[in-house]
């Protein structure tokens, strides 16, 4: 199969601004290449693919980033900036795709979904969020009526946000497991990983660390400086260890040393890449039973799930996390979330999309 892949229009690959989409894209490219498929990636200028993905052709596009729908109101109108990066990526993708089988879009935005109804080339969409926009959800419904196979989701709970989709295609996610080393560090520090933004709920994890009299190691791109400073000022100085944004290889070396990953989202995560990354290193996860993480974490086996926003229960589970056998965590990832498992699901789905046309 010859696949043209459209990247996120929020930050270049490697910047951390694109959140989990950056890792998902690289993992998928790796899996597709290992299965013998041809992949071309269209991404913002300065983007970098993992070294193992050098066989994929990479095209650079310049332009203005889109505003993330996570940071807009549900009823906000569509805004397309002048010199739009997303429009430029789509224009290039459609041109290249004349010689390909399918365009695979990984940006959650209105324009590529609208294009599905206006070009003859198959455009498949990996939807990376729950319903964050009325105008996008309404458009997905319209496209779905004509092309019911053109959308795939990371988790069932995410797909439930789109009630009009009767039989959602669930593809999960996958990771290159040789990039993650198993460590049996039962006495390590507390960890939190993610974009530092309001919807990620970092303050609840800091609350747990403060109650335990420990420091919390925080890895990730600080998207909202004001939010980060507000949290820092709300707790005793030094409670947060700001560790910065690291590459996958560097992150897993540090994450594996931790005894637990705290995951505290205030919104419905579509999947939860950092959870699987932690599990791949043998690190149990204590999280809220909200969004994709609630489908990934096996309560009592690979971590614990607390009711959403229940900080006290979250704290109680961290206190008993040593009961979790760390080998269980790695084994779950090997059986459910490798790049080959993920890529095979995507290929089976794309074959349905192509056949539809």
Domains of the chain: total: 2
Are 254 and 129 part of one and the same domain? no
Q: How many other CB atoms are there within 10 angstroms of residue 226's CB atom? A: 8
Are 145 and 211 part of one and the same domain? no
Check which CATH number belongs to the domain holding 352 and give it: 3.40.50.2000
Are 18 and 132 part of one and the same domain? yes
Are 52 and 121 part of one and the same domain? yes
Q: In this predicted model, what pLDDT tens digit does every residue of 28-42 receive, in sequence order?
A: 999 999 999 999 999
- The pLDDT of residue 85 is 97
Instruction: Assess whether pLDDT exceeds 90 at residue 268.
Output: no
Are 10 and 148 part of one and the same domain? yes
Are 207 and 294 part of one and the same domain? yes
Q: How many residues belong to the chain?
A: 357
* pLDDT bracket for residue 16 (50, 70, 90): confident
In 3-state terms the chain splits into helix, strand, coil percentages (rounded to 5) of 40, 20, 40
Write down the pTM of the prediction.
Answer: 0.88
Are 242 and 329 part of one and the same domain? yes
Query: Which residues fall within 8 angstroms of residue 268, CB to CB, at 6 or more apart?
Result: 130, 157, 158, 161, 290, 291, 292
Q: Which domain holds residue 205?
A: 177-336
- The pLDDT of residue 264 is 96
Q: In this predicted model, what pLDDT tens digit does every residue of 116-174 receive, in sequence order?
A: 999 999 999 999 999 999 999 999 999 999 999 999 999 999 999 999 999 999 999 99
Are 187 and 146 part of one and the same domain? no
Q: In this predicted model, what pLDDT tens digit does every residue of 196-249 receive, in sequence order?
A: 999 999 999 999 999 999 999 999 999 999 999 999 999 999 999 999 999 889
């Amino acid at each position: 199969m010859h696949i043209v892949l459209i990247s996120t229009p929020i930050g270049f690959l490697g910047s951390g601004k694109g959140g989990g989409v950056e890792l998902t894209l690289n993992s998928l490219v790796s899996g597709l290449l290992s299965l013998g498929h041809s992949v071309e990636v269209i991404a913002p200028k300065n983007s970098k693919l993992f070294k193992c993905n050098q066989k994929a052709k990479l095209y650079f596009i310049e332009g203005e980033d889109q505003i993330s729908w996570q940071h807009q109101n549900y009823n906000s109108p569509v805004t397309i900036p002048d010199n739009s990066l997303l429009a430029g990526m789509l224009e290039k993708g459609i041109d290249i795709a004349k010689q390909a089988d399918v365009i695979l879009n990984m940006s959650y935005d209105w324009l590529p979904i609208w294009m599905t109804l206006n070009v003859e080339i198959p455009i498949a969409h990996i939807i990376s969020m729950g319903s964050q926009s009325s105008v996008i959800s309404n458009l997905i419904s319209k496209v779905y009526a004509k092309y019911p196979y053109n959308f795939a989701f990371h988790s069932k709970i995410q797909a439930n946000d789109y009630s009009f989709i009767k039989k959602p295609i669930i593809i999960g996610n996958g990771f290159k497991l040789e990039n993650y080393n198993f460590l049996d560090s039962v006495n390590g520090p507390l960890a939190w990983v993610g974009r530092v933004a309001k919807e990620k709920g970092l303050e609840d994890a800091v609350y747990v660390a403060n109650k335990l009299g420990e420091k919390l190691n925080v890895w990730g791109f600080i998207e909202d400086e004001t939010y980060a400073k507000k949290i820092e000022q709300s707790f005793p100085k030094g409670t947060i260890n700001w560790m910065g944004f690291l590459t996958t290889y560097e992150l897993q070396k540090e994450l594996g040393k931790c005894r637990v990953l705290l995951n505290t989202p205030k919104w419905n995560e579509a999947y939860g890449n950092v959870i699987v990354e932690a599990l791949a290193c043998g690190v149990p996860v204590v999280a809220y039973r909200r969004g994709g993480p609630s489908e990934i974490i096996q309560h009592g086996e690979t971590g614990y799930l607390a009711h959403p926003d229940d900080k006290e229960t979250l704290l109680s589970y961290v206190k008993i996390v040593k009961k979790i056998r760390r080998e269980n965590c790695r084994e779950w990832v090997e059986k459910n979330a490798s790049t080959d498992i993920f890529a095979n699901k995507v290929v089976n789905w794309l074959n349905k999309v192509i056949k539809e046309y």
